[in-house]
Amino acid sequence: MCGIIAVSKRTAALADVLDILRGALESLEYRGYDSAGVAVVIPPEAVTGKAPAGKASAGKAPDGQEVSDDKIWIAKSAAGTGSLNELAKKCEQFVLSVGNAPTDIVAGIGHTRWATHGRPIEANAHPLMSCNGEVAIVHNGIIENYFELGAQLQKDGHELTSETDSEVIAHLIESELAKDGSADVGDNGERLHKAVLKTVAALKGSFALAIVWSKAEGTVVAARRISPLIVGITSDLILVASDIPALLGYTRELFALEDDQVVQLRPGFLKLTDIKGAEIEPTPMNVDWDVQAAQRQGWDDFMCKEIHEQPSAVRDTLMGRLLPNGTLTLDETRFSDDELRSIEKVFIVGCGSSFHAGMVAKYVIEHWVRLTTEVDIASELRYRDPIMDSRTLVVGVSQSGETIDTLRALREAKRQKAKVLVVTNVVDSSMAREADGVLYTRAGPEIGVASTKTHLAQITALEILALYLAELRGTLYRQEISQLLKALAKLPLKLEQTLAHEAEVSLVADQFGQANTFFFIGRHVGYPVALEGALKLKEIAYLQAQGYAAGELKHGPIALIEPGVVVVGVATRTLLWEKLMANIAEVRARGASVVLVANQGDTETAERADAVLWVPTTHPLLAPILDIVPLQMLAYFLAIKHGNNVDKPRNLAKTVTVE
């Protein structure tokens, strides 16, 4: 998804601000992007060299750089994943040509674009300018009424030059500034703030916005509806970004904008208002991630690092919940025990890997807690008219806490008066703030687009929740619970043992490196593991991979099984092992190659496979936490063998903030 950064820095040269913008855009890269751009308001004192030619309203200089008469410089690149490198070169040339004298204050904005409306070309890359070249904006989200707004703007004489839904915002702000009677007198930061308030009131859809105006030197105005936006503050620097990792290197003094809030910022000045202009006090965020956690630290890529961080992600998620005396505590969810006892039905909702974690939870909640549990993809649940009431617990599962489909489904649940609990990795994320209760996974920042450690942490948190409910509602004996807690506590060590098989998994990837059709099958809790294994292979290795409930194969998909197809079975010892083996026999009989996830030393399973992925034994309902790991590694090695960038797979975004 698009990434936004805005900066205002005191006692800075242009190069300082461009460096901060570039660095922050690099840390937003993982969200997925196809083009990028920056804009800075040029203070006259900064210009010591020859001012570059070009004028924003009249078009671009040949290299794609733009400078308006009113001193906003813009550079863009639509070179796909090479955009940030190209942009860095343009910034260097610009600084060389205009000079780099320190000035009182410099403001700028930057953007990585993940195309929705309009092709990934430079004209559609952000920042986007108003006609007079005085206002530059960056936008994440979708403006649903852009067509009507654009038609009206054109009637009023504005010239729209991009194919985007976002450009109207710059023109609307320009119009509002022009209508403002106090033209060219008074506080221009305040004038921009008011113009943005009027503009966002006219917008339908979702937006995270950052705006600079050449006449409001050093001021950044930002606004949010649905799409996330975080503000970071230091004594001489303010930053606004789409997510926390982009800000971690500068400050932990952060707050998140809420829906329909607008903020006006300069170092030493902050004014936060609601959409009507009433002032609000920001609520600080509590972020305990450190900068190193969001860096590669010598690993080849983030995905590999994050796969190896899984033992600690699970250990940290258990910490403080699993007490040394073998009992469980879950005070932090904000629900009283009576409220949790009153629940009659559970819905679990999420997308992608988070949905798969929710599927595992359905099995465990129904089995341990004896509560009817539905699990649904967020984008489906939201629009299928589900029936909920105050005795329904809706559990939203989301690594980012920002996925728009899940956020909307949870809002629908709240509208129906259900109790909403969120399992998320991001403290104070939108879902965490809006939910009635939160259960944080403690996996640390996940930068690789493919979820790995956060997925395991989600399953862990959901298993803890299920056991807590079982204890509270008396559906499991105390002794059963304490045995399960002991088994949970052993998982970090068993994950380390699983990761020790990495080299063998790499050999299995070599063995099937030429295959291009994979079926992942499993039964019971092995079924969501199969779906997750297939998702990993699709998203990073770009291979045809289908995930199926093993028993369903013979109802159609088995027609696709033939020599050359690889069937990956989740064959650790559960109640349904024999039945799964029957399904494996069916695919073998039709010529498929078979790879099985099996418990360490289980020769009976190994005899039925062309290759084995070993995992330690655990309680069958905890097994997904181990079983998925070799499938993540298999996808990883196949992706690397195919020469893919595992951290930034094509077409994907880490956090999906459009529906």
Measuring CA to CA, how many Å separate 167 from each of 159, 262, 347? 10, 19, 39
Distance CA 340, CA 326 (A): 22
CB 142 within 8 A of CB 205: yes
Tokens of 253: 């003094």
Least distance (Å) from ligand AGP to the CB of residue 155? Answer: 40
100 binds ligand AGP per the rule CB under 6 A: no
Residue of 87, 272, 410, 449 interacting with ligand AGP (CB under 6 A):
449
Residue of 100, 214, 406, 572 interacting with ligand AGP (CB under 6 A):
406
Residue of 132, 188, 206, 354 interacting with ligand AGP (CB under 6 A):
354
657 binds ligand AGP per the rule CB under 6 A: no
441 binds ligand AGP per the rule CB under 6 A: no
Task: Show the DSSP H helices in 283-336 as ranges.
Answer: 302-308, 310-318
CB 3 within 8 A of CB 243: yes
164 binds ligand AGP per the rule CB under 6 A: no
The candidate with the shortest Cα–Cα distance to 176, out of 141, 203, 151, 208, is 203
The residue from 76, 90, 305, 654 that is catalytic is 654
Of 27-35, 127-135, 350-358, 579-587, the segment contacting ligand AGP by CB under 6 A is: 350-358
Least distance (Å) from ligand AGP to the CB of residue 548? Answer: 18
How many Cα atoms sit within 13 Å of 98 on the Cβ side?
Answer: 29
Decide whether 380 or 610 has the Cβ nearer to ligand AGP: 380
533 binds ligand AGP per the rule CB under 6 A: no
Distance CA 382, CA 379 (A): 6
Of 345-353, 368-376, 520-528, 607-615, the segment contacting ligand AGP by CB under 6 A is: 345-353
430 binds ligand AGP per the rule CB under 6 A: no
616 binds ligand AGP per the rule CB under 6 A: no
398 binds ligand AGP per the rule CB under 6 A: yes
CB 36 within 8 A of CB 110: yes
Least distance (Å) from ligand AGP to the CB of residue 494? Answer: 22
Decide whether 54 or 649 has the Cβ nearer to ligand AGP: 649
Of 154-162, 235-243, 394-402, 490-498, the segment contacting ligand AGP by CB under 6 A is: 394-402
Residue of 273, 392, 399, 618 interacting with ligand AGP (CB under 6 A):
399
Cβ-proximal residue to ligand AGP, closest one: 352
- Partner residues linked to 396 by β-bridges: 349, 422
11 Ramachandran zone, left/alpha/beta (phi>0; psi -120 to 50)? left
Assess whether the previous peptide bond of 624 is cis (omega < 30° from 0): no
Here's the x/- map for ligand AGP, 553-592, by CB under 6 A: it reads as ----------------------------------------
445 binds ligand AGP per the rule CB under 6 A: no
Residue of 436, 539, 602, 647 interacting with ligand AGP (CB under 6 A):
539
Decide whether 560 or 652 has the Cβ nearer to ligand AGP: 652
Q: How many other CB atoms are found less than 10 A from the CB of residue 89? A: 12
655 binds ligand AGP per the rule CB under 6 A: yes
Tokens of 40: 């800075």
Question: Binding-site residue total for ligand AGP (CB under 6 A)?
Answer: 15
The candidate with the shortest Cα–Cα distance to 33, out of 86, 111, 91, 99, is 111
Render 341-382 in DSSP notation, one character per residue. HT--EEEEEE-HHHHHHHHHHHHHIIIII--EEEEEEHHHHT
461 binds ligand AGP per the rule CB under 6 A: no
Decide whether 130 or 400 has the Cβ nearer to ligand AGP: 400
Q: Where are the beta strands (DSSP E) in 496-551?
A: 517-522, 544-549
CB 485 within 8 A of CB 477: no
64 binds ligand AGP per the rule CB under 6 A: no
How far from chain centre, in Å, is Cα 197? 28
Q: Is 351 a catalytic site residue?
A: no
Least distance (Å) from ligand AGP to the CB of residue 560? Answer: 24
Decide whether 194 or 654 has the Cβ nearer to ligand AGP: 654
- Phi, psi angles (nearest 5°) of residue 581: -60, -35
Q: Is 2 a catalytic site residue?
A: yes
Distance CA 652, CA 328 (A): 38
Angle at 297 between CA 295 and CA 300, to 5 degrees: 100
Of 32-40, 153-161, 249-257, 392-400, the segment contacting ligand AGP by CB under 6 A is: 392-400
Decide whether 287 or 553 has the Cβ nearer to ligand AGP: 287
Of 247-255, 443-451, 485-493, 572-580, the segment contacting ligand AGP by CB under 6 A is: 443-451
400 binds ligand AGP per the rule CB under 6 A: yes
Q: Please give the single-letter amino acid code of residue 305.
A: K
140 binds ligand AGP per the rule CB under 6 A: no
Three-state SS at 153? helix
Measuring CA to CA, how many Å separate 490 from each of 231, 322, 487, 539? 40, 12, 5, 30
- Partner residues linked to 240 by β-bridges: 6, 231
Decide whether 267 or 350 has the Cβ nearer to ligand AGP: 350
CB 429 within 8 A of CB 439: no
Footprint on this chain of ligand AGP (rule: CB under 6 A): 351-354, 398-400, 403, 406, 449-451, 539, 655-656
Catalytic residues: 2, 654
